[in-house]
Amino acid sequence: MEEFVQHFINGISLGSIYALIAIGYTMVYGILQLINFAHSDVYMIGAFTGYYFGNYISRLGWVTLPSWSAFFFTLACAMLVCGFLGFMIERFAYRPLRKAPKLNILITAIGISLFLEYTGQIVFGADPKVFPNLLNDVELFSSESGNVRISSFDIVILTVSVSLVVILNFIIFKTKLGKAMRATSFNDTWAALMGIPVDRIISYTFVIGSALAAAGGILVGIKYPKIEPLMGVMIGLKAFVAAVLGGIGNLTGAVIGALIMGLAEQFVVGYGSSTYRDALAFGILIVILLFKPAGLLGKFGVEKV
């Protein structure tokens, strides 16, 4: 039983990281019907921004590592940098192709993804880097037998993910910007006719989605302190599967899908064979596409994002 609880905790912790990345996929899809393959590489850039920024501020002596201020500074910096990167990607790679067939823009997305990965290998070097120790890992809870443990990282990751999702939900459902995003997602031509600056709204979507991916990068960095330019490939695919599982285009769906993915992975490792871990992610994708092509919460043709 204790083992089950531990697997459960591990799964939620992993799932909440998938969720941050899955949200980016789902937001962009909801508005543009585009699968933004470069998203997982924006996440990688986020982690590397954290790496350089974290090391930089500690060397300058602005903050001492590990500390909360270092964590939040780095998080904010990475989110800003990646938000800007997301904006640039949309502005220069996707916007010129907005009126082109969907396939062109999809291939461009793959191109951008490869571009970022291999530029990363040249600029950062292809060998793994060790993420700076921004936060101390403290054991918050341990059962008497010591078989169930919750560390502060698990809580930090969950809290940061949940609060970002809550903020995002607030933006989308309670603000004017969110209303405009929903309108654009519903029908961009009509939205434009109603006076909504569609281009700017799409830019915002990319900025927000990329900033969330950066947060994911930082959280992964503090928990698994090994980062490399190709780190986004696998996790990006899994987050994408999570988004599809929850119903791509649906925010709550992405979060639920991500948690299911995280839990399923941990339970396969725990009670099945650890070899089938990655096979599971894609197995889920196939099953979902067969039986519920729109995903768990997705509906065809209804409001997205």
Partner 1 sequence: MKNLFTFTSLLFALALATTACTKKTDTTSQSSDEILVGEFGSLTGSEATFGQMTNKGIALAVEEINSAGGVNGKKIRVITLDNQGKSEESVSAVTKLITQNKVVAVLGEVASSRSLAAAPIAQQYKVPMISPSSTNPKVTEVGDYIFRVCFIDPFQGTVMAKFAHENLKAKKVAILTDVKSDYSVGLAKFFKETYTKLGGTIVSEQSYSSGDIDFKGQLTNIKTAKADAIFIPGYYTEVGLIARQARQIGIKADLMGGDGWDSSKLSEIGGEAVNGGYFSNHYTSESKEPVVVGFVEKFKKKFGETPDGLAAMGYDAALVLGEALKKAPDLSPQAIRDAVAQTKDFQGVTGKITINGERNAVKPAVVVKVDGTVNRFVTTVNP
What is d(CA 296, CA 286) in angstroms, rounded to the nearest whole number? 14
Q: Which residues of 92-106 are buried (b: 16+ CB within 10 A; e: fewer)?
A: ebbeebeeeeeeebb
Residue 6 binds partner 1 (CB under 8 A): yes
**Nearest-5° angle of CA 265, CA 266, CA 272?**
85
Does position 225 bind partner 1 by CB under 8 A? yes
Residue 265 near partner 1 by CB under 8 A: yes
Closest approach, Cβ 40 to partner 1, in A, equals: 14
Footprint (CB under 8 A) of partner 1, residues 144-173: 146-147, 149, 151
Our finding on whether 142 is near partner 1 (CB under 8 A) is yes
Rule CB under 8 A: say whether 266 interacts with partner 1: yes
Provide, rounded to whole angstroms, the least separation between the CB of residue 209 and partner 1: 22
Residue 98 is a binding residue for partner 1 (CB under 8 A): no
User: What string marks each residue from 190 to 219 as x (binds partner 1 by CB under 8 A) or -?
Assistant: ------------------------------
- As a whole number of angstroms, the distance between CA 208 and CA 76 comes to 13
For residue 100, state whether it binds partner 1 (rule: CB under 8 A): no
Q: Which tokens hold the place of 137?
A: 């890992």
Q: Which stretch binds partner 1 (CB under 8 A): 73-81, 124-132, 191-199, 252-260?
A: 124-132
Tell whether residue 134 is a contact of partner 1 (CB under 8 A): no
Q: Which residues bind partner 1 (CB under 8 A)?
A: 3, 6-7, 10, 14, 121, 125-128, 130, 137, 142, 146-147, 149, 151, 220, 224-226, 228, 230-231, 234-235, 265-270, 273-275, 277-278
